[in-house]
Amino acid sequence: MIQLKNVRWVYQGGDTAVLDGLDLHIRRGETVVVCGPSGSGKSSALRLMNGLIPHFHDGTLEGEVRVDGAAITDLAQVGRVTGTVLQHPRRQFFTDTIDTELAFALENFGTPPQRIRERVGEVVDDFGMNELEGRLRELSGGQQQRVACAAAVTHGPPVLLLDEPTSNLSPQGIADLTAILRRLRERGTTLVIAEHRLHYLRELADRIVVMQDGAVAKEWSRAEVAGLTDEMMRQEGLRSLDAPERTEVPPAHAFGPSVEPGGTGSLDTAPDPGPATPDPGPDGGGVVLRGIRCGFRGRTVLDIAEARLPAGVITAVTGPNGAGKTTLARILAGLQRHAGQVLLDGRPLSRARRQRETAIVMQDVQRQLFTDSVTAELRLGAVPQEAGHAATVLADLDLAGFGDRHPLSLSGGQQQRLVVATARLSGRRVVIFDEPSSGVDRRHLRSMTRSMRDVAAGGAVVVLISHDADLLALAADRELRLRPPADRS
């Protein structure tokens, strides 16, 4: 179905090959998981399979690439036989509503309107999206991911390519995606999945391919996958094939309609949190939220009566897709209008002040890269007292030697770590990490955690928004668990 023979690819302006001697044959109906360290060439390999390389990315391509028996010279034909889910779905949307996005490919292929309506209805039911409403930009990252997956299969391609499809999904979202992939596999769809989180694919994969330095370094068959141990995965720098266990940490002091019951319930009756992770007093030592309410189109999406986010510790904000986690991040950063007060060390902060006091690592970090080199990117946001630590921070995040590289020439995981580095050097009082482990392998989870702990040790309020159980187990000191609007009474 897909044949890559001795492929070499160098992006325009790059000085090294991202793919170098890549040989990979994927049979019709096979489910292949492509994994490996950040920067090993996984995303570039998928871009070859859907024709984005070389038709939308400039560079030099050598070797042979064939999809469904044909060369990738005809991009329209490649588009008919492949569907793609990108790591950040916002980048692949062409319209602004769910129905029109699902219909987009079918309309481009000249499908009769009645069949388009029927097929869109089938996919909405198949993906459980009947409850989703509003414009795409108003959906949570996880909800956008579901729409992107649905849009990629609406035209019925025999090949589905997925690049880190669980990066923004909650555990329930991952379970839903797994069920959908299983159905597609049973229908004979060829699945190629580039992924760091492997546990949900253990029973689906016919083969796991490990990439290193732009080529296939190792392959495991379905039978061999069954015998892989966590130690074997660790030696390869890969995440575990076992489902992560939920790590219990003390709940944050918070209450209100958006807060999942079972925490402290009320700030006045909260139990002693213990000496390891001290909470601020009612009016100091961190951030206090009071009477926070935010809504879109007449619908309340976040309602927190009161919550404390202590300085010096990492507070994890968790909950299902659509629970308001990113909305909370935007409020803390002064990017979202809302009712209520945000206080820092007992003093109310206006939205303008919060913008100056807060650093944020967004889900899609490409939107935060502004300069023409890694070094310039660090200088742009670093405060003078932290600038001297830049080389150490880059080395710890495995970015040493990348100082002259253009940020957009880095892999997704490398870009993620670069923005984490800029947050680390920003000297801001509040630092927010919104799903920072997208595209991050096992080894770099630990270096990312060290960076967050360094920020907290400097006295900042650190907020970690994540569904990633591996990262939460390493980093979370407290948990503020939110619940979505449909669950609120």
Quote the pLDDT of residue 284.
46
How sure is the predictor about 485, in pLDDT bands with cuts at 50, 70 and 90? low
pLDDT category, 163, cuts 50, 70, 90? very high
* Residue 262: per-residue pLDDT: 65
Higher pLDDT, 439 or 318: 318
CA distance 91 to 478: 33
Q: pTM to 2 decimals?
A: 0.84
Three-state DSSP state, 397: coil
Q: Is 131 exposed, middle or buried (0-12, 13-18, 19+ CB in 10 A)?
A: exposed
Q: What value does the mean pLDDT take over residues 444-465?
A: 93
285: pLDDT strictly greater than 60: yes
Percent of the chain with pLDDT over 70: 94
Question: CB–CB of 316/263 below 8 Å?
Answer: no
Fold adopted by 254-487: Rossmann fold (3.40.50)
CA distances from 121 to 3, 37, 44, 154 (A): 34, 39, 33, 10
Q: What is the pLDDT of residue 486?
A: 57
Q: Which helix (H) or strand (E) holds 5?
A: strand 2-11
Q: Average pLDDT, stretch 301-317?
A: 96
Is a pLDDT exceeding 60 seen at residue 280?
no
Q: Please indicate whether residue 130 or residue 272 has the higher confidence score (pLDDT).
A: 130
Asked if 415 contacts 144 with a C-beta cutoff of 8 angstroms, the reply is no
What mean pLDDT value characterizes the chain? Answer: 88
Does the pLDDT value for residue 255 go beyond 60?
A: yes
In order, the DSSP letters of 198-255 are: -GGGTTT-SEEEEEETTEEEEEEEHHHHHT--HHHHHHTTPPPSSPPPPPP-PBPSEE
Residues β-bridged to residue 204: none
The DSSP call for residue 137 is G
Helices 98-108 and 113-126: crossing angle in degrees, nearest 10, is 130
Dihedral through CA 169, CA 172, CA 178, CA 181, nearest 10?
Answer: -70
168-221, pLDDT tens digit by residue? 788 888 888 899 899 999 999 999 999 999 999 999 999 999 999 999 999 999
Residues 482 and 323: beta-carbon distance below 8 Å: yes
Banded pLDDT at 350 (limits 50, 70, 90): very high
The CATH number, out of the four listed (3.40.50.300, 3.40.720.10, 3.40.309.10, 2.40.10.220), of the domain defined by the range 2-235: 3.40.50.300
Residues above pLDDT 90, as percent of the chain:
60
pLDDT of residue 237: 86
- What stretch(es) of the chain map to CATH 3.40.50.300? 2-235, 254-487
- Tell me the three state secondary structure of residue 77: helix
Give the relative orientation of helices 442-457 and 412-424 as an angle to the nearest 10 degrees: 10
The single residue listed with the structure tokens 């039978």 is 223
Tell me the average pLDDT across 362-382. Answer: 89
Most confident among 381-390, 434-443, 463-472 (mean pLDDT):
463-472
Mean pLDDT over 428-442 rounds to 89
* C-alpha neighbours within 13 Å on the C-beta side of residue 286: 24
At how many degrees (to 10) do helices 171-186 and 141-153 cross?
A: 10
Cα 364 to Cα 450: distance, rounded to the nearest angstrom: 21
Top pLDDT among 252 and 277 is at: 252
Q: What is the CA radius of gyration of the chain?
A: 23
Give the range with max mean pLDDT: 23-27, 39-43, 123-127, 446-450.
Answer: 23-27
Please tell me which residue, 430 or 164, carries the higher pLDDT value.
Answer: 430
pLDDT at 157 over 80: yes
